[in-house]
Structure 1
Amino acid sequence: MDKIGPGLLALSLVAVLFGLMLAGWRGRLRRQQDVAPLPGPPADAGPPLEAYEGQYVVTTTAGDWLDRISVHGLGIRGNALLRVYPHGLLIERTGAPDVYIPRDVLGGVRTESGMIGKFVEKEGLAVVTWQLGDRSVDTAFRTRSAADKAPLLAQLTSLVPTASQDEE
């Protein structure tokens, strides 16, 4: 009988913490309702140049690795297949909506050691900066195999429009 009281107190505290986390997540979703909807892939995407297995990590506000974008399922981490096409890239996620990033909205590619919720070895994440509506965002992907990271970065970098391509 002496252990029931502290056990109920601990259980109550856990329930309150989960309730606060849920309220915080819902508040973030409410604040981010102005984020533009995700672009859809073209109807005839054609064959991909390459595909990489790995993990979709997160999408954040560009330059702020702690400001997770939660709307449109972008805050859900999970296994994914990243397909690189001449017209953009498609991240096919397990248990969450796919993310298509058209080539013309790409702003840059870099590596990071971590973003909110996931930290790995130095330069372990491939991060793509792109425009989602009027908001600049960063999307992180981690390849399953370390040997795939360099080819993925080369493929992604080749997609980023340069000033000379924009003038043509």
Structure 2
Amino acid sequence: MNLPLPVAVGLWVAVGVVLLLLILGGRRRLTQRTGQLVPQPPAAPADLGAPRLGPLEATYVSTTLAGDWLARVGAHGLGDRAAATVTVHDAGVLVERAGAPTVFLPADALRGAGLAPGMAGKYVGADGLVVLTWLAPSDGRVRAVELDTGLRTRHPADKSRLVDAVRHLLAAPGEAADPLQKENP
């Protein structure tokens, strides 16, 4: 069946608009559904303390419910993939994303750091992603919940450096970045 060109173009445009509306509707429902489960992430404090590592170039992949790497969180912009700069400070991990809100993982909220082959929306194989597990504190409206945040570092050597820096932050909360600054007992 040969359709005239204007009719064929009109049909393709209509199909494109319908698909776009389906995608936008799905994103909106994901945002609403996870907004009832996940509290607003904390803002970065004015004083982040001494930098321990970074800045590192990375791709912010996504944030999911801890342990369920297919349960993407759409609320608060946590599901938006973006180029990012990651810095580990005494106060926590700062993920500054291009075109999306900054994500701050407070040091006292961090629960773990490791490598994984993938998570919602991204599979890279082997241990290609750095996954930071953290507790999003209650915002008074929604109770606290554990989350996994996935990052793909631009340079492969930075994966282990980032995991080590976060693990050191977990091992010594409140410890000065320079051990010589600590008082002797």
Does residue 5 (structure 1) correspond to residue 15 (structure 2)? The answer is no
- Aligned pair count reads 163
TM-aligned CA deviation for residue 117 of structure 1: 1.6
Does residue 38 (structure 1) correspond to residue 6 (structure 2)? The answer is no
Q: Which residue of 2 aligns with 1:123?
A: 127
Contact 2:48 2:90 in 1 (8 A): no
TM-aligned CA deviation for residue 122 of structure 1: 1.0
TM-aligned CA deviation for residue 87 of structure 1: 2.3
Alignment of 1:1-168 (within 5 A): 2-34=4-36, 35-51=38-54, 52-133=56-137, 134-161=144-171
Structure 2 gap ranges (5+): 138-143, 176-185
TM-aligned CA deviation for residue 161 of structure 1: 4.9
**Percent same amino acid among aligned pairs?**
40
Structure 1 gap ranges (5+): none
Q: TM-score, normalised by structure 2?
A: 0.81
Q: TM-score, normalised by structure 1?
A: 0.88
Distance in 1, Cα, partners of 2:83 & 2:131 = 16
TM-aligned CA deviation for residue 30 of structure 1: 1.5
CA RMSD of the aligned region, Å? 1.8
Q: Which amino acid aligns with 2:6?
A: I
Q: Tell me the SS of whatever aligns to 2:35.
A: coil
Distance in 2, Cα, partners of 1:66 & 1:118 = 10
Q: Larger Cα Rg: Structure 1 or Structure 2? A: 2
Q: Which amino acid aligns with 2:149?
A: T
TM-aligned CA deviation for residue 38 of structure 1: 1.2
Contact 1:41 1:100 in 2 (8 A): yes
Distance in 1, Cα, partners of 2:122 & 2:33 = 23
Distance in 2, Cα, partners of 1:115 & 1:33 = 20
